[in-house]
Amino acid sequence: MMTFEHATTSTGGGFSRPSKMPCPAYSIPASLCKVGGKLRKVEGSVCSKCYAMKGNYNYPAVRNALARRLRSLRREDWVDSMVYLIEAEGNNYFRWHDAGDLQNSNHLKKIVEVCERTPNVRHWLPTREAGILQSFINNGGKVPENLTIRLSAHMIDGVAPLPLARRLGVQVSTVVTSGKTCPSAEQGNKCLTCRACWDKKQEVVAYGKH
């Protein structure tokens, strides 16, 4: 029988809780981002000043927690444990990867299964790993209705990857110096009542550069 303690251990310590978010999240080391790791070396890219590579994310306790969550993905009971914790939380929203990104297709499959088993929760997954997503879909994978995946533009003020996103049936996000649609900068860097990132009807969400 699943318990809160077991589920927490099996997920590497449970959820992260970004102060901006109206809900819990799940994070892994940004240092292991695949596409993002390459973009960190590119001037003008969104990842060149990655927030998840500085500040609180560099505290030893936080770095250890991120590493535990990454290792926990190998556990056979990870999906069961995540479902248990999300249901116990009782929040109607969930954020995937406030730090880090998809590692492989199996990682995405597990996230999708969690979403399918928590149909009353709206999930949001931002990612730069278009190749992993495309492989998942090409092999018969389907994005659940309650999961909004947003392909992230690589460059600040860059073109949103809309053609690819439309082919894959997902949404996009960008980072811009002007014309942002995310209201958090005027709200104490918090989402408050905004849920655009989770809304599939919002094809593009534009975050202000900061």
**pLDDT (tens digit per residue) in 125-146:** 999 999 999 999 999 999 999 9
Average pLDDT over residues 168-197: 95
Give the domain extent around 181.
22-208
3-state secondary structure of 157: coil
The fraction of the chain above a pLDDT of 90, given in percent, is 79
- Listed in order, strand segments (DSSP E) in 130-195 are 147-152, 171-176
Residue 55 lies in a domain: yes
Surface-to-core class of residue 127, CB atoms within 10 Å of its CB (0-12 exposed, 13-18 middle, 19+ buried) = buried
Torsion of CA 97, 104, 42, 17, to 10 degrees: 10
Residue 12 lies in a domain: no
Question: Domain total for the chain?
Answer: 1
Structure confidence at residue 61 (pLDDT)? 80
Tally DSSP H helices, then E strands, for the chain.
7, 6
Is this model's pTM higher than 0.85 or not? yes
Q: Which two tokens stand for residue 202?
A: 């919002």
Structure confidence at residue 53 (pLDDT)? 62
Residues counted in the chain: 210
Helices of type H across 51-102: 60-72, 78-89
For residue 9, pLDDT beyond 80 = yes
Residue 167 lies in a domain: yes
Q: Which residue has the tokens 């495309």?
A: 134
Contact yes or no for 135/105 (Cβ under 8 A): yes
Side-chain half-sphere exposure of 89, counting CA atoms within 13 A: 24
Question: Can you spell out the DSSP letters for 13-31?
Answer: S--B--TT-SS-EE---GG
Instruction: Give the pLDDT band (50/70/90) at residue 113.
Output: very high
Residue 1 lies in a domain: no
What pLDDT, in 10s, does the model give residues 34-69?
998 898 889 888 888 777 566 667 777 888 889 999
Contact yes or no for 88/16 (Cβ under 8 A): no
Structure confidence at residue 62 (pLDDT)? 80
Residue 17 lies in a domain: no
For residue 198, pLDDT beyond 90 = yes
Residue 4 lies in a domain: no
Average pLDDT over residues 74-80: 97
3-state secondary structure of 130: helix
Residue 175 lies in a domain: yes
The fraction of the chain above a pLDDT of 70, given in percent, is 97
Residue 13 lies in a domain: no
202 to 29, 153, 161: CA distances (angstroms): 28, 15, 14
State which amino acid sits at residue 118.
Answer: T
